[in-house]
Structures are given as C-alpha cells and as structure tokens.
C-alpha cells in the first residue's frame, strides 16, 4: 500500500513537473514570439526610415510594399482623436523609422564624401526608375482637362530654381529656419503619398545636403557626448521635426482631398519635377562637393554608370512589387 502510494505520488509529481516544464516552454515561446513580432516591425520601420531619405524612393512606397502603409495611415488619422492609442499601435514602426533615419544619415553622408559622383548617379538611377510608376499614377487617375500641362509647368519651375539656389541662407537666420521647416514638411508628405520622394525634391532644390549635414552633425554630437554641440544643433533638428509634425497633422487631410479631386494634376506635377530633377542635381552637385566632371577618373564614371543601372533596376523592382501586391488586393 505504502509502495503504491509512493508510486502514485511520484507519478503525480512527474506529471506536475512535466506540466510546469511545458508551461515554462510555452511562456518562453510566447515571449520569443512577441519579441520577434516587435523586432520585425522595428526592422520594417527602419526600412521605411531609410527609404524616406533615399532619392527616388519614398518611405510610403516602402511601407506599401511591406504591408504596413494602411496601419500607419490609420494611426495618423486617429492621432488627433486618440493620440496615446494611435502612437501605441505603431510605436515599433516609429522606433524603426528613427533608427533608419539615423543609419541613413550616417551612411549617405559618408559615401557622399568618399565618392560623390558614383553615389549621385546611383540616386539618379533611383529617380529615373521611378518615372514609370509616377506616369502610371497620373494616367490612371480621373482625367481633368489639360491636366498634363502640370508636368511641363512644374518642370520649368524646378529649372528656375537653378538660378535662385545660389543665394545661400545664413545658418540660424529666419530664411534658413524656413528652409529647415520646408525640409521637414516635404519629408512628411513623402510618408503620406506613395511614389513621392522628398529626397528627390530636396536634391533638385539644392537642400538635400542641408538635411544630411544637420542630421549627421546632430548624430555625431550625440554619440560623441558633445552636449554643447547637441544644444547647438537641437534648434535646427526641432524645426525640421516641427515641419514634419505640422504637415502630418494639418496636411494629411488636405493631401487626401487633393489626391481625391486633383489626383492627375498632382501626379503630373510630381512627374514634371522628377523628370527634370537629374539636371538640377548634376548642376548643383559641384556646389556641395569637389566634383569636377572633366577631371573625374574613368573608373569612377564606370562605377557610377553601373550604380545608375543598379538604382534604376532597384526602383523598377520596387514599383513592380508594389503594383503586384495592389493587384492581388
């Protein structure tokens, strides 16, 4: 009897131990699964962040390809009504976007300093590769009479900036702060509208290097522990952030209305800007670097041409991938 009781007790203990072990493993797997979900969302957000500052690619395009665009737009739509809940629903993406921007600023600024011409040709490849997708957006929209005229009109306006961007604004002046605000606003708009690259616009306007300089200097100051430099850079960073936040909050619904009623005009205007932007970019490149086209080594031109083709192919692939996913839906 005693032996049977001991045996039964031992079996019960074994079963309880097994159940405890299984429960522990289950909880560990659940924690691991939650961690992986957070990690995947952060990675997706970082890709959106990097896409936001790559010419020819928009963060919203990357978000659409990664199936997170509607989540972000829904959170943006709810942020004025339920701000905490809206932010909590996409906090992983927000963290990822910030990390992607930090990495993007550092890497792009570094490669610009090492090989400005090849990198610029890579970006132009990105830009030209996106023209087909923009043309599809413009032609598939509801037609408005003579809406195509927006393309040459916008292109001429962008070419006109070649004659005014030489007038540089003093750092800290109201004009400079306004430029920073516009940089933030354009970056935010590109997060709302798939296919619209803020970096392309900024390069064409000659303001892209301002964004890279401010972002890179702020990051360098933070990681070096130079708090006086952080304090010096903080106002400029805040103005860019303010431009982005104000645009997201106030312009989100305006852009939605614009795209609903004047979609073809809008995309034809963007198309006109994008078509002429490589001219602006190449003309203004020597204003910010030591590039001399005539004296550039042949192998740098060769690398640049190969990177141009790679950039063109990459943007084409992204556009086709996005179109395929939209057709499936």
Ranges in the chain, pLDDT < 50: 165-167
Find how far residue 179's CA is from the centre of its chain: 19
Q: What is the pLDDT of residues 201-234, one digit of tens each?
A: 887 777 888 888 888 888 888 888 888 888 888 8
pLDDT tens sequence across 149-200 = 888 888 887 777 666 544 456 666 788 889 899 999 888 887 777 667 788 7
The confidence score (pLDDT) of residue 302 equals 92
Total tally of structural domains belonging to the chain = 1
The set of long-range contacts for 152-158, using a CB threshold of 8 Å and a minimum separation of 24, is 152/272, 153/269, 153/272, 154/268, 154/269, 154/270, 154/271, 154/272, 154/273, 155/272, 155/273, 155/275, 155/276, 156/272, 157/273, 158/204, 158/205, 158/272, 158/273, 158/276, 158/277, 158/280
Q: What domain range is 189 assigned to?
A: 2-328
CB 196 within 8 A of CB 190: yes
Number of H helices, E strands in the chain: 15, 0
67 dihedral zone (left: phi>0; alpha: psi -120 to 50; beta): left
């Amino acid at each position: 009897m005693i032996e049977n009781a001991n045996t039964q007790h031992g079996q019960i203990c074994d079963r309880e131990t097994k159940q405890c072990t299984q429960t522990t493993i289950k909880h560990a797997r659940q924690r691991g699964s939650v961690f992986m979900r957070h990690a995947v969302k952060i990675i997706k957000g970082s890709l959106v962040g990097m896409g936001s500052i790559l010419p020819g690619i928009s963060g919203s395009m990357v978000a659409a390809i990664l199936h997170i665009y509607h989540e972000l737009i829904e959170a943006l739509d709810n942020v004025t009504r339920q701000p905490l809940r809206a932010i909590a629903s996409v906090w992983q993406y927000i963290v990822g976007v910030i990390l992607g921007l930090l990495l993007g600023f550092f890497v792009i600024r570094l490669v610009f300093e090492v090989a400005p011409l090849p990198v610029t040709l890579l970006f132009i490849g990105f830009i030209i590769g996106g023209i087909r997708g923009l043309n599809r957006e413009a032609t598939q929209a509801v037609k408005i009479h003579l809406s195509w005229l927006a393309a040459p009109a916008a292109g001429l306006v962008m070419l006109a900036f070649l004659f005014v961007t030489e007038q540089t604004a003093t750092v800290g002046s109201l004009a400079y702060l306004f430029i920073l605000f516009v940089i933030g606003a354009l970056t935010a708009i590109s997060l709302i509208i798939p296919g619209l690259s803020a970096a392309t616009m900024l390069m064409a306007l000659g303001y892209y290097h301002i964004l890279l300089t401010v972002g890179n200097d702020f990051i360098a100051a933070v990681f070096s522990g130079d708090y006086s430099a952080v304090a010096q850079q903080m106002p400029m960073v805040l103005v860019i952030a303010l431009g982005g936040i104000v645009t997201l909050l106030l312009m989100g619904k305006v852009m939605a209305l614009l795209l609903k009623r004047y979609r073809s005009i809008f995309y034809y205007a963007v198309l006109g800007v994008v078509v002429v932007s490589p001219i602006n970019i190449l003309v203004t490149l020597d204003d910010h670097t030591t590039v001399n086209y005539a004296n550039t080594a042949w192998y740098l031109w060769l690398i640049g041409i190969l990177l141009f083709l790679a950039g063109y192919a990459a943007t084409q692939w992204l556009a086709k991938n996005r179109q395929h996913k939209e057709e499936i839906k």
